[in-house]
Amino acid sequence: MSAHSAHRASASDQRPPAPRLGRRMARFNRAVVNKVSIHLAGFVPGMGIVLHVGRRTRQVYCTPVLVFTTKDGFRIALTYGRDSDWVKNALAHGAVRLITRRNEYELSQPELVTDVHRQHVALPLRALLRLLRVAEFLDFQSAGNSGSFES
């Protein structure tokens, strides 16, 4: 593994420092900010909307995320860490849908990744994620493009 490669997480691995955005901020964003950003996230480069199924409710939820392409899929920044509900839902279900740049993708095989170098992240966002101490990501394999999304 090179110095710039990502590290796959395992149960024995030590977690990186928690992201600066705490659970209070996550609750505020879920109640306020997400209501606005969800309308932009499917169109703005570097953002997307993850559609995931609740573990207990089986309800479909939409969550705005920061998303980056990889050679075989997508990498999503875990701005609130791996304990976020959408992350737990994606890992439990094994698949999500992603809307980004007006396209919808079927994603599968989620894998937690620790990447302190933040590869696959555009330079301006790399600095922001470093400032916020975000070093955990969820990698997905792309199962294909479901087509164009029109609002």
pLDDT in tens, the chain (151 residues): 444 456 665 544 667 776 666 666 666 666 666 677 788 888 899 999 999 999 999 999 999 999 999 999 999 999 989 999 999 999 999 999 999 999 999 999 999 999 999 989 988 899 999 999 999 999 999 987 776 655 4
Domain membership of residue 48 (yes or no) is yes
Domain membership of residue 151 (yes or no) is no
CATH of residue 60: 2.30.110.10
Whether the pTM exceeds 0.85: the reply is: no
Contact of 126 with 82, CB cutoff 8 Å:
no
Domain membership of residue 5 (yes or no) is no
Give the total number of structural domains in the chain.
1
Q: Which helix (H) or strand (E) holds 148?
A: strand 136-148
Domain membership of residue 132 (yes or no) is yes
Domain membership of residue 127 (yes or no) is yes
Domain membership of residue 8 (yes or no) is no
Measured between alpha carbons, how far is 113 from 140 in angstroms, rounded to an integer? 10
Q: Which one-letter amino acid corresponds to residue 83?
A: D
Domain membership of residue 118 (yes or no) is yes
* Positive or negative torsion for Cα 74, 48, 67, 92: negative
The domain of 62 spans 17-144
